[in-house]
Amino acid sequence: MRRREFITLLAGTTTWPIAGRGQSSIPVIGFINGSSATAYGAYVQAFIRGLAETGYTVGENVAIEYRWADGHYDRIPDMVDDLVRRRVTVLAPNTPAAHAAKRAAGNIPVVFFTGEDPVASGLIASLNRPGGNATGVTSLFGELAAKQVGLLRDLVPAATLIGFLVNPRNPITDRNVRDALDAAQSLARRLRSSMRAAKPRSMPRSRRCAACELARCSCSLMLFSTTSGS
């Protein structure tokens, strides 16, 4: 995650009052994530450190309202609406929450972190000129599936059947599966995907079950989607 770039965008979306200790008129970040606080603990700590590097200390001159979907993406619209009603200063969603945040935000700036192409998905108009009230950072995870298949072919050229574990609830998954299938077909390889959806807390167990399922299919290699735990 490009923490510094993301935090810089976040801090630059609006003019935030720098309040001293004890003052109540401080900006509030609405942090919305499709996963869980446990699974994303390290990212949250990095997020807080990034804020500190730009002069914002949580509890002193900035506050964060967290909303975790715990893998239940259908809850995200209601969580976004709640933050909008609370009139947070800015919304900071990840991939599963980005579109819901943009639709509901109104005049509230949205700074997203996403693994999909934000232009192709309609989040922004262009990378150079996002337009509207949304901007953010993309890792373009959605373009990695084909490269992963190609890399596996180079590493294990004898492999003929590849297992691909994904999270079907993540918005990037359909694109990942299509790209991986196209890459596998172009390389004369077979790809079998296991569509496993689970709460983040049970994701390790879900991965084991899917791995067993793919092993029964005699897959030569196992490929994990970058979103299988999101």
Last residue of a domain, one of 110, 139, 168: 139
Q: Do 67 and 122 share a domain, yes or no?
A: yes
Last residue of a domain, one of 102, 119, 139: 139
**Distance between alpha carbon 7 and the CA centroid of its chain, in Å?**
15
Last residue of a domain, one of 111, 139, 167: 139
User: Whose CA is closest to 110, among 6, 25, 24?
Assistant: 6
Domain contains 230? no
**Distance between alpha carbon 171 and the CA centroid of its chain, in Å?**
9
Domain that holds residue 199: 142-224
Domain contains 45? yes
Q: Do 113 and 7 share a domain, yes or no?
A: yes
Q: Do 175 and 219 share a domain, yes or no?
A: yes
pLDDT of residue 198: 47
Domain contains 229? no
Domain contains 188? yes
pLDDT of residue 62: 95
Domain contains 201? yes
Domain contains 7? yes
Q: Whose structure tokens read 């995870």?
A: 141
User: Whose CA is closest to 191, among 219, 211, 168, 215?
Assistant: 219
DSSP SS3 for 21:
coil
Enter the DSSP assignment of 207.
H
Report whether 149 contacts 180 (CB < 8 A).
Answer: yes
Q: Do 17 and 122 share a domain, yes or no?
A: yes
Beta strands in 21-109 (DSSP E): 28-33, 63-68, 90-93
Q: Do 124 and 201 share a domain, yes or no?
A: no
pLDDT of residue 46: 92
Q: Do 59 and 153 share a domain, yes or no?
A: no
Q: How many domains does the chain have?
A: 2
53: CATH = 3.40.50.2300
Q: Do 31 and 134 share a domain, yes or no?
A: yes
Q: Do 14 and 69 share a domain, yes or no?
A: yes
Q: Tens-digit pLDDT profile for the chain (230 aa)?
A: 455 555 555 655 555 544 443 445 899 999 999 999 998 899 999 999 999 999 999 999 999 999 999 989 999 999 999 999 999 999 999 989 999 999 999 999 999 988 788 888 888 888 788 888 899 888 766 567 777 778 877 887 877 777 777 777 777 777 777 777 887 777 766 655 544 444 444 455 555 554 555 455 445 455 555 454 45
Domain contains 204? yes
Q: Do 123 and 20 share a domain, yes or no?
A: yes
- State the Cα–Cα distance between residues 157 and 135, nearest whole angstrom: 41
